[in-house]
């Protein structure tokens, strides 16, 4: 049996393969996980002007069984009777027509059967992930501003609505809901500002656009073949009860609601490692374990998030109802965002870098093409 590749070897294969296939002039590592590596690539014109960037991810299956699990997607865009494709590719391709700014967009993908590896070219997200702001506040022992938490709740709900119905606002006929199964702070990417998308009426324009990525564990909900956990999936502390062996409930859109709630709760607690997400910890539960920062937030926010992590899936709110309830607290007499949800564009500069802004967000985490190396990029929070 061949020895497993080291992280350095995986990066070398990625760099060599991408540069051999296309003309990219710069590259920089973005991160590594249990199954592979991700890097950023940049392309310049003859005048050395940066004209394109993308993220490229190589994922390896450690066994034939794992490879077959990865190649399990049979829904759209797979034609009836055709062989299954990589689940991550299938999920991202199925979501691409929605053109949601809250979903990391796929550009293309390839497979290498001999190495049990697939490669995805995708949208480049240059500000890192939501773990950066979390760590910023955690190090300082300061609560994340409540308006920023409402923004995270809003944007994740918008993203999961697309997974639930295939489109941000109009349900797609025949759509099979997608269950992500690995939502956590590190899989929620930070994109540009809302105004970059020319959406001047969208809420929370002060904050970067959140984008859900890493669909490597995604499945489709099928009422005729419900998926009940045969083995544990996801990341410890971020899993729903339905992702634990022994739980009788199938994995559905309500599973997405749970991990949405756990993720937002982690920001409010400033802890992610002791979430009571394991099924055995939920039996006989009387109340949620909390931290002092939890009480910093409004009753309305705490109530919504707590409902999302209800033990029973049927007790969690549906995504459309959750969106409507969030909207209620974003404006008018019940506004709990301190006016930030729908602040005028002309007023954004006044709040930028202030107490209500989201700190710990790099201006550009990986400025490839201009200066390589994300660790040298200066975040706007460090000067505070």
Q: Which of 98, 122, 146 is the last residue of a domain?
A: 122
pLDDT at 34: 81
Long-range contact list for 162-169, CB < 8 A, 24+ apart?
162/95, 162/98, 162/100, 162/102, 162/103, 163/95, 163/212, 163/253, 163/256, 164/253, 164/256, 164/319, 166/94, 166/95, 166/97, 166/98, 167/98, 168/98, 168/100
pLDDT at 378: 36
- Whether 274 is covered by a domain: the verdict is yes
* Domain match, 145 and 271 both: yes
pLDDT at 106: 97
**Per-residue pLDDT in tens (0 to 9) along the chain, 384 residues:** 567 899 999 999 999 999 998 888 889 998 888 889 999 999 888 888 888 999 999 999 999 999 999 999 998 889 888 999 999 999 999 999 999 999 999 999 999 999 999 999 999 998 889 999 999 999 999 999 999 999 999 999 999 999 999 999 999 999 999 999 999 999 999 998 876 666 677 899 999 999 999 999 999 998 888 999 888 888 877 888 898 888 899 999 999 999 999 999 989 988 865 554 444 554 455 566 677 889 999 999 999 999 999 889 999 999 999 999 999 999 999 999 999 999 988 889 999 999 999 999 987 655 555 443 333 333 443 434
Q: What pLDDT, in 10s, does the model give residues 185-231?
A: 999 999 988 766 666 778 999 999 999 999 999 999 988 889 998 88
* Domain match, 167 and 91 both: no
* Domain match, 38 and 142 both: no
Q: Which of 70, 90, 122 is the last residue of a domain?
A: 122
* Domain match, 97 and 161 both: no
Q: For residue 173, give the CATH number of its domain.
A: 1.10.510.10
pLDDT at 291: 77
- Whether 366 is covered by a domain: the verdict is no
- Whether 345 is covered by a domain: the verdict is no
- Whether 169 is covered by a domain: the verdict is yes
Range of the domain at 234: 131-334
* Domain match, 23 and 72 both: yes
SS3 state of residue 383: coil
Task: Please choose, from the candidates 174, 210, 204, the residue with its C-alpha nearest in 3D space to the C-alpha of residue 192.
Answer: 210
Q: Are 84 and 111 within 8 A, CB to CB? A: no
- Whether 374 is covered by a domain: the verdict is no
pLDDT at 259: 93
* Domain match, 84 and 115 both: yes
* Domain match, 183 and 69 both: no
* Domain match, 45 and 111 both: yes
- Whether 344 is covered by a domain: the verdict is no
Report the distance separating Cα 238 and Cα 183, nearest Å. Answer: 7
* Domain match, 114 and 148 both: no
Here the tokens at position 209 are: 């656009």
- Whether 269 is covered by a domain: the verdict is yes
Phi-psi map region of 68: left, alpha, beta (phi>0 left; psi -120 to 50 alpha):
alpha
* Domain match, 94 and 146 both: no
Quote helix, strand, coil % in the chain, to nearest 5: 35, 15, 50
* Domain match, 201 and 257 both: yes
* Domain match, 305 and 160 both: yes
Q: Which of 63, 92, 122 is the last residue of a domain?
A: 122
Backbone angles phi, psi at 54, to 5 degrees: -150, 160
Q: For residue 61, give the CATH number of its domain.
A: 3.30.200
Number of domains in the chain: 2
- Whether 200 is covered by a domain: the verdict is yes
Report the distance separating Cα 352 and Cα 337, nearest Å. Answer: 15
Report the distance separating Cα 32 and Cα 36, nearest Å. Answer: 6
């Amino acid at each position: 049996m061949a020895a497993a590749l080291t992280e350095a070897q995986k990066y070398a294969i990625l760099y060599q393969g991408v540069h051999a296939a296309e003309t990219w002039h710069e590259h920089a590592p973005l991160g590594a996980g249990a199954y592979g590596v991700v890097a950023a690539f940049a392309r310049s014109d003859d005048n050395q002007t940066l004209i394109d960037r993308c993220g490229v991810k190589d994922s390896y299956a450690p066994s034939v069984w794992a490879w077959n699990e990865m190649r399990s997607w049979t829904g759209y865009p797979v034609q009836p009777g055709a062989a299954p494709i990589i689940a991550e590719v299938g999920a991202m391709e199925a979501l691409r027509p929605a053109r949601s700014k809250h979903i990391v967009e796929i550009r293309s993908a390839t497979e290498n059967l001999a190495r049990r590896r697939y490669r995805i070219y995708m949208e480049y997200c240059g500000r890192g992930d939501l773990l950066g702001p979390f760590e910023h506040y955690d190090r300082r022992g300061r609560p994340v501003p409540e308006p920023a938490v409402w923004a995270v709740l809003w944007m994740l709900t918008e993203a999961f609505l697309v997974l639930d119905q295939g489109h941000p606002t109009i349900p797609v006929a025949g759509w099979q809901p997608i269950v992500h199964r690995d939502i956590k702070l590190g899989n929620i990417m930070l994109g540009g500002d809302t105004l970059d998308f020319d959406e001047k009426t969208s809420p929370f324009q002060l904050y970067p656009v959140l984008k859900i990525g890493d669909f490597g564990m995604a499945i489709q909900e099928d009422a005729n073949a419900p998926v009940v956990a045969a083995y544990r999936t996801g990341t410890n502390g971020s899993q729903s009860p339905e992702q634990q062996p022994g739980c009788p409930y199938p994995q559905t859109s309500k599973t997405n609601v749970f991990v949405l709630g756990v993720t937002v709760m982690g920001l409010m607690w400033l802890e992610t490692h002791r979430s009571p997400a394991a099924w055995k910890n939920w039996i006989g539960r009387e109340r949620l374990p909390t931290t002092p920062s939890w009480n910093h937030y409004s009753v309305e926010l705490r109530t919504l998030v707590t409902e999302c992590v209800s033990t029973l899936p049927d007790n969690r709110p549906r995504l459309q109802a959750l969106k409507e309830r969030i909207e209620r607290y974003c404006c008018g007499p019940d506004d709990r965002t301190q006016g930030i949800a729908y602040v005028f564009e002309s007023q954004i500069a006044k709040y930028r870098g202030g107490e209500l802004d989201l700190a710990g967000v790099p201006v550009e985490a990986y400025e490839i093409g201009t200066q390589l190396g994300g660790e040298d990029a200066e975040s706007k929070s460090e000067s505070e």
